[in-house]
Amino acid sequence: MEKVVKLSDVQVETGPSSFAALLRQQGDEIRRDVFNLVLPQDTEGGVLHAGITILYPGCRTKGHTHPDREEVYHFLRGRGIMGVDGREYPVSAGDTFYVPFGPPHTTRNPYSEPLEFFWITIQKKA
């Protein structure tokens, strides 16, 4: 019998040696990998910084502000929640999200599959 299985509907195995078990440990939900693709010092203008982040299930980013930079996120895989200045926005693969200069922002992944996104910051002109 034919069948379509959506990864977003599948729960991850939760045995004691699984990565999911590590993620369930209380006190540290900041689990992500960041790949810096372009650093400011490697660009002609010195104002651009870009990378890819993989945010693991049940985790979040530290959150940060940058009053001198605006930022664009493009979501490549999975789904999550963007939090900006106390407001939350659902995001998923294919979405692009703009963060203006200044407000605190963070990304959460309350789902069972990784959330992967490309991001770029551009420093304000002097």
Task: For each of the domains in the chain, give its residue range(s) and CATH number, in order of start.
Answer: 7-123 (2.60.120.10)
pLDDT at residue 10 in the model = 65
How far, CA to CA in Å, does 6 sit from each of 1, 9, 10, 36, 73?
Answer: 16, 5, 7, 30, 24
pTM listed for this prediction: 0.81
Note the pLDDT of residue 108: 95
Give the pLDDT confidence score for residue 62 in this predicted structure: 87
In order along the chain (126 residues), what is the average pLDDT of each group of 10 residues?
Answer: 70 64 65 85 90 89 92 97 97 97 95 94 87
Residues 6+ apart with CB under 8 A from 71: 98, 99, 105, 119, 120, 121, 122
Query: Is residue 78 a contact partner of residue 119, using CB atoms and an 8 Å limit?
Result: no
